[in-house]
């Protein structure tokens, strides 16, 4: 089996620095038809996953973060990556992303409100049955800087929402209605949280 840690060490990505790749290796499916990364930075993360899967499948990114294009669509195209240019919590933009993915990896703005909004929409509409949704850098939820004055309490951050879920609660929050919570809970097969930094959510 390929070593994702070794592969990522050759690309510009901080996923090894944060210790994420062993968890990815544990949870990623053996094959993918389609893979989406949100928050592409210099392309190191998506290229690591692309190499891990021997370029078998389609590899997509949402490549605007903080309103800025980090790497151009043209550069991504040359790498064989399909780019969707838009903001991760813009629902009207997200509705234009037509694909269903085996894996979605969210490493975007780290803003607590956007992490929840993006998860809610894409998990319901764009993750295949049996697929995986990953939220990185959830330790940012503990710093109110990332709440931006929009999140009003820690309980409404994505890390708190999923800790509450694992303790037998619902997914209701400032950003998730009771009806949406019921739907999401009916779709979730498994949740794993590591070091309060990264969440893996498997869909039924």
**Which pLDDT score is estimated for 86?**
87
* Order of strands, sheet of 58-62, starting from the edge strand that comes earlier in the sequence: 82-84, 58-62, 34-38, 101-106, 127-135, 198-203, 188-194
Q: Which domain, by its residues, includes 147?
A: 4-203
Tell me which of 54-58, 69-73, 137-141, 143-147 is least confident.
69-73
Mean of the pLDDT values across residues 49-76?
84
Q: Which of left, alpha, beta for 80 (phi over 0: left; psi -120 to 50: alpha)?
A: left
pTM for this model (two decimals): 0.95
Nearest 5°: CA angle at 7, between 38 and 97? 20
Structure tokens at 198: 């990264």
Cβ neighbours of 9 (radius 10 Å): 13
Cβ neighbours of 177 (radius 10 Å): 12
Cβ neighbours of 71 (radius 10 Å): 18
Mean of the pLDDT values across residues 35-56?
93
For residue 75, give the H/E element and its range: helix 73-78
Total domain count, the chain: 1
CATH of the domain at 84: 3.40.50.150
Identify the sign of the CA torsion 109, 138, 187, 155: negative
Indicate whether 29 pLDDT > 90. yes
Indicate whether 64 pLDDT > 70. no
Mean pLDDT rounded to a whole number for the chain? 93
Identify the sign of the CA torsion 152, 158, 164, 169: positive
């Amino acid at each position: 089996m390929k070593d994702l840690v070794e592969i990522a060490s050759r690309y510009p990505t901080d996923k090894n620095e944060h210790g994420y790749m062993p968890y990815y290796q544990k949870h990623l499916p053996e094959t993918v038809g389609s893979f989406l990364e949100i928050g592409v930075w210099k392309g190191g993360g998506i290229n690591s996953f692309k190499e891990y899967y021997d370029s078998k499948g389609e590899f997509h990114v949402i490549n605007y973060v903080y309103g800025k294009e980090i790497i151009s669509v043209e550069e991504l195209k040359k790498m064989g990556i399909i780019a969707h240019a838009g903001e991760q919590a813009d629902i009207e933009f997200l509705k234009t992303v037509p694909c269903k993915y085996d894996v979605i990896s969210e490493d975007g703005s780290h803003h607590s409100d956007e992490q929840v909004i993006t998860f809610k929409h894409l998990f319901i509409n764009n993750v295949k049955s049996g697929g995986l949704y990953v939220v990185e850098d959830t330790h940012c939820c503990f710093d109110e800087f990332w709440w931006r004055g929009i999140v009003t309490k820690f309980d409404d951050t994505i890390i708190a929402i999923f800790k509450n879920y694992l303790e037998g609660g619902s997914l209701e929050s400032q950003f998730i209605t009771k009806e949406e919570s019921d739907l999401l809970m009916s779709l979730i097969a498994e949740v794993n949280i590591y070091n309060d930094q990264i969440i893996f959510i498997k869909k039924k």
